A = this chain, B = another copy of it.
Amino acid sequence: MNSAPVKVAIVGASGYSGEELVRLLLNHPHAELTAVTSRQYAGQTVAQIFPKFASHPKSKALRFSEPNSELLATQAQIVFLALPHGVAAEYAIPLLQLGCQVIDLSADFRLRSAEVYKEFYAHDHPAPELLQKAVYGLPEVYREKIKEASLIASPGCYPTSILLPLIPLLKAKLIKPTGIIANSMSGVSGAGRKADVDYLFVECNESVRPYGLPKHRHLSEIEQELGTAAGEPVTMQFTPHLIPVNRGILTTLYAAPTDNFSTADEMTALGERISACYRSAYANEPFVRVLEGKALPDTKNVVGTNVAEIAWRLDPRTGRLIIMSAEDNIVKGASGQAVQSMNILCGFPETAGLL
């Protein structure tokens, strides 16, 4: 571990993910937050824009600045990008050239294929040559690659809630790669801090609604990573819903086990294989909690933490496995996971600043 703290910066620190990064990095034991940028807030202090951090000793000294890659490269070794897709790449390219390590929270570098990017994001990829260089920042899967990455593409919130439960089962061939369904419910922070009538309090409170189906953009990275785990292409169903909570994603997954379990013995045996698979994958993971007994995930148990909760049930009536996961969309689904990657990259304890 480095003895001096690593200098870090955040580009686009005014949204919900950016704000959470500010919180995590201000309090990180091995990082020093040296710059935060925001066109809108340039010149104002962190204390002014985020009153909830105003009691932090650094919040009155740290001022938002206009984003400037050359300046940032002198201020920080690691730069977090909390920007809209398409915009992030504009900063990643020069920052990498200037020798920074970049942790991008946008979708810009999550796909390995520029074609798939274009299919889902409807414009040419701004820097296709970087796609092979980027590491998908899901620590439970790509920890070793993250250690040596210069460009980390931190996963999306929905993808994290879907990949963590499914990847071990697909790798172990315990479920079929076909016919998977993910039904997700997300809190409103997922829509970002932007002035839009659809996300006004009155429009969201006492409301539940599906949106973005059947081909939400996040499907591209979900299917890419599930395909890698399965060793074959995966096409799946994904339906997001907006629910009136600030934070949290609850995903319910439907999959078909590879083996039949029509008898009680088969069901017991299959259950034990699933348990063993998850134990093997996650027993030592600090941020994945597979529930036992009758417990089921509840977003209120993970909000504010970097933990993903997982539980599962076999249904002998339908022959399906139902898996449920809960996470904080802004922490494990965004900024916490990005800091977890930073910890790995820098050789810090993986839980530093995240407990």
Contact = CB atoms under 8 A, between A and B. Distances in A.
A248 B214 contact: no
A41 B326 CA distance: 25
Interface in A197-251: 197, 199-211, 213-215, 235-237, 239, 241, 243-248, 250
Contacts of A18: none
A287 B322 contact: no
A295 B55 contact: no
Nearest to A208: B250
Interface string A173-214: 000000101010101110001111101111111111111011
B193 A200 contact: yes
A1 interface: no
Nearest to A249: B208
A207 B318 contact: no
Nearest to A236: B318
A299 interface: yes
Contacts of A245: 205-208, 243-244
Contact of A202 (B193, B237, B303, B322): B193
B252 A51 contact: no
A307 interface: yes
A297 B188 contact: no
Given A237-B254, A297-B209, A304-B304, A201 B55 contact: no
A348 interface: no
Contacts of A197: 193-195
A301 interface: yes
Given A237-B322, A298-B51, A201 B208 contact: no
Contacts of A187: 202
A200 B235 CA distance: 35
A134 B296 CA distance: 37
A273 interface: no
Interface stretch (A81-89, A123-131, A309-317, A337-345): A309-317
Nearest to A291: B51
A233 to B, nearest CB: 11
Nearest to A309: B51
